[in-house]
Amino acid sequence: MGAYFIGAHELLGWVDGLRESTRIIGPVAKRQRFVFAELESAAQLRLDYDVTILPPKKVFFPPKQQILAFDSERVSDCIDPVPTVLLGVHFYDVKGLDMTDFLMRERYEDWNYLAQREATTIVASSVQSVAPRAFWGSIGAHVRPQGHDAMLTKVSEGYVLETRTPKGERLAGLERFRHATDDEVAGAERVNAAVMDQCSQLMPYDSKEIATKVRESFGNEELWDDLAMDCFSCGSCNIVCPTCYCFDVRDSWNVDQTSGQRTRYWDACLTREFAAVTMAGGQKENFREHHASRFRHRFMRKAAYLHDKLGGPACTGCGRCAAACTANIADPVRVINTIMGVTL
Amino acid sequence: MTKPRVAFFDFASCEGCQIEFTNHGDAVILELLNHLDIVEFREAMTETTNEPIDIAFIEGSFTRESDRVRLQAIRSRAKTVIAYGACAVTGGINALKNHQDDFAEEVYGEAAYMPHLRSGTARPISAAIKVDHEVRGCPVSKEELLLVISNLLHGTTYAVPTFPVCAQCKRRETVCRYEEGDHCMGQVARAGCGAPCPADGIPCEACRGFVDDANLGALEKVLVERAGFSQRRAVAKSRMFTANLRS
Ligand code: SF4
Ligand code: SF4
């Protein structure tokens, strides 16, 4: 599709113009961090953010999502998509969405996710600040981001908007844009290429090699006990991850005790009871009883099991888990590089 | 269907958990009265009862032998007993005194020797009687209480979250206390509260007690390495709600 240019001083006017007709969700500041939130004015937009606390997956699959409402007469779904422009998604998070887009369609189509996904136009944006724990420069380099409708790149005098779909093209159809010159397009390409070397963290292995070695490390209990020693089983590493998609379902009644709702919540495989099941007779069996086996499971999923399905690692290199882990042990760079370095 | 008869009782506590129930306000409580028959509740009514009851909410910790007698009497006429609030579930804040002997004068001054202040070890009510369900927290979460009640009314059991508070902070995108140079116990504290304290900029004190298998060794390490505590302070880190859960 097309390539357009907008002057730096025109950008906020464009965003405010869009706000008149659609909901816009973009990165905004929260204390010293950033979160994706609905913009109340374009001035809140922080395209210079490094990484958000939660990934943009939450727009389609909220941490707490009502999926059914019931009363004594009927049960109804709660699918109610809102036309949205999701603005300012970094490329590594687009990759994360590509993975959940695939996983939420696999076998069973999850319309609680897909309906809002289809009602959303995604405008990716160039990375202007690199998060300290990010390693997207070296992981899954062969996997290209695909799910965005347009890409906005900051160049010296303004922004280049490259559209990829008719949805993206419609955004550029608004006033304030002009066609970008070849030089501007080449400039944007240079900006996006240059940032790839900016991560201080490196995972210098091919993802297939990683998948093989991680799988082989499964039986090395000493290694995993060691890696997981300080684990709190808190699940923070799961909750902040763009590619985690497990949820727990709970029913609750309203105070009238006849109507109520079914709600799903993000679950976390690092937590103690995630793999606990109740058996006949009421006994519980936990097939990942020990924290090291849960810690190992996360890496098996991200590096090996899902790799087979997705053709690349189920990790975008966003570094959120590394930053969220108070014990400072969840970092894939530490874990994978350790595994790659040991003789099993 | 007859409505279950519900009564509230209190032992060593501030009765704040019972007040938390009344904080639901008229609309919720009047609706609940269509489903429950509250027969004793001294925060809100004068009547009491010696008749059998279906659900007993017991607030407060067990600190005297006379408490045991009263607890047993409640148990013997109640179908379901609910330990209600931190004091009843773990001993709560009262258990702080279990680890020191100089508190009486410190707290009560000249009145320290009044006979009614002579109490023993502060224990959970489960040390005296069988408890069917627990509602944790200081105070309890009033939203969670509604879930407990509606599950009882429907003959099901409320599934209490067993994971730590961290997960609930992350779900609501609270900036971690550690990232602000503070400390926190959310990694080992039981969730279910919805993590309101860190969202207000206050470290979690684990008022709902510890998760099972809490990694206290790792907590000490994080308090030293990330929050800058001395080793001694890390080990002794607030026992405010967890005195009975530590060695
Ligand atoms: S690895 Fe870290 S973030 Fe993940 S569960 Fe363990 S302590 Fe929590
Ligand atoms: S595993 Fe960690 S670095 Fe990888 S995508 Fe998930 S949160 Fe980001």
Do residues B212 and B122 both lie within one domain?
no
Regarding whether B182 and B104 lie in a shared domain, the answer is no
- For A246-263, write each residue's pLDDT tens digit: 999 999 999 999 999 999
Distance CA A247, CA A274 (A): 10
> Distance between CA B99 and CA B232 in Å, rounded?
16
Find chain B residues with C-beta within 8 A of A261's C-beta: none
Distance A228 CA to ligand 2 centre (A): 17
Q: What is the 8-class DSSP label of residue B140? A: B
Q: Does B170 touch chain A (CB under 8 A)?
A: yes
Same domain for B142 and B178, yes or no, is no
The answer on B216 and B169 residing in a single domain is yes
- With a pLDDT cut of 90, the percent of chain B lying above it is 83
- Would B159 be classed as within a structural domain? no
Q: Which residue puts its alpha carbon closest to atom 1 of ligand 1?
A: A330
Query: Is the CB of residue B153 less than 8 Å away from at least one CB of chain A?
Result: yes
Same domain, B110 and B25: yes
Is the pLDDT at A173 greater than 80, yes or no?
no
**Which residue's alpha carbon is at the smallest distance from atom 2 of ligand 2?**
A321
Residues in chain B with CB shorter than 8 Å from the CB of A268 are 163, 167
Q: Across the interface, do A327 and B221 touch by the CB < 8 Å criterion?
A: yes
Q: How confident is the model at residue A320 (pLDDT cuts 50, 70, 90)?
A: very high
Report phi then psi at A57, rounded to 5: -45, -30
A13 residue type, one letter: G
pLDDT over threshold 80, residue B247: no
Domain-located, residue B240: yes
Continuous H helices in A104-242: 111-118, 166-172, 182-194, 207-216, 221-227, 236-239
B77 contacts B53 by C-beta, under 8 angstroms:
yes
Q: How many CB atoms lie within 10 A of CB B171?
A: 23
Together in a domain, B23 and B144:
yes
CB-count burial class (<10 Å; 0-12, 13-18, 19+) for B200: exposed
- For residues B138 and B180, membership in a common domain is answered with no
Give the integer Cα–Cα distance in Å for A27 and A2.
Answer: 25
For residue A129, what is the DSSP state?
S
Residues B77 and B181 in one domain: no
Helix (H, G, I), strand (E, B) or coil at A240: coil
- C-alpha distances in Å from residue A23, one per residue of A8, A17, A91, A170: 22, 11, 21, 15
Tokens of residue A299, six digits: 């890496």
Q: How far is the CA of A236 from the centre of ligand 1 (A)?
A: 6
**Cα–Cα distance for residue pair B132/B209, rounded to 1 Å:** 18
Whether B9 maps to a domain, the answer reads yes
HSE (side-chain half, CA atoms, 13 Å) at B147: 20
Report the largest interatomic distance among the alpha carbons of chain A, rounded to a whole angstrom.
Answer: 72
Show the tokens assigned to A57: 């997956």
pLDDT at B1: 67
Judge whether B158 lies within some domain: no
Percent of chain A predicted with pLDDT > 70: 100
Domain boundaries, chain A: 3-197, 207-340
- Report the 10 Å Cβ neighbour count for A308: 9
B34 lies in the same domain as B109: yes
Residue B31 token pair: 């609706």
Give the binding-site residues of ligand 2, using a 6 Å CB cut-off.
Answer: A 240-243, 302, 315-321, 332
pLDDT in tens, A323-335: 999 999 999 999 9
Q: Judge if B134 and B222 occupy the same domain.
A: no
d(CA B189, CA B209): 6
Ligand 2 centroid, distance to A25 Cα (angstroms): 22
Distance CA B32, CA B146 (A): 9
pLDDT bucket at A172, cuts 50 / 70 / 90: confident
Q: pLDDT tens digits for B99-145?
A: 877 778 888 888 888 888 888 899 999 999 999 999 999 999 999 99
**CB contact A53 to B (< 8 Å):** yes
Give chain B's domain count: 2
Which residue, B124, B153, B182, sits at the end of a domain?
B153
Locate the ligand 1 atom nearest the alpha carbon of residue A324 and give its number.
3
Average pLDDT score over residue span A97-121? 97
Instruction: Please list, in sequence order, all residues whose beta carbon lies within 8 angstroms of the beta carbon of residue B234, skipping any fewer than 6 positions away.
Output: B219, B220, B221, B223, B224
* Co-location of B19 and B95 in the same domain: yes
3-state secondary structure of A151: strand
**Domain extent at residue B38:** 5-153
With a cut of 70, say whether residue B22 has pLDDT above it: yes
Q: Final residue of a domain: which of B98, B119, B153?
A: B153
Cα distance from N-terminal residue to C-terminal residue, chain B? 48
Of the residues B153, B175, B193, the one at which a domain ends: B153
| Residue B121 maps to a domain | yes
**CA torsion through residues A71, A76, A77, A78, sign:** negative
Kindly state if the Cβ of A236 falls inside 6 Å of ligand 1: yes
B234–A contact, CB cutoff 8 A? no
Q: Which ligand is nearest to the CA of B170?
A: 1
Residue B167: name the closest of A223, A81, A273 by CA.
Answer: A273
Residues B132 and B238 in one domain: no
Q: What is the pLDDT of residue B103?
A: 78
Q: Which range (A50-64, A157-171, B94-108, B187-201) has the least confidence? A: B94-108
Pair of tokens at residue B163: 């994971």
Ligand 1 neighbourhood includes A270 CB (under 6 angstroms): yes
Is residue B20 situated within a structural domain?
Answer: yes
A234 in ligand 1 pocket by Cβ < 6 Å?
A: yes
In a domain, B230, yes or no: yes
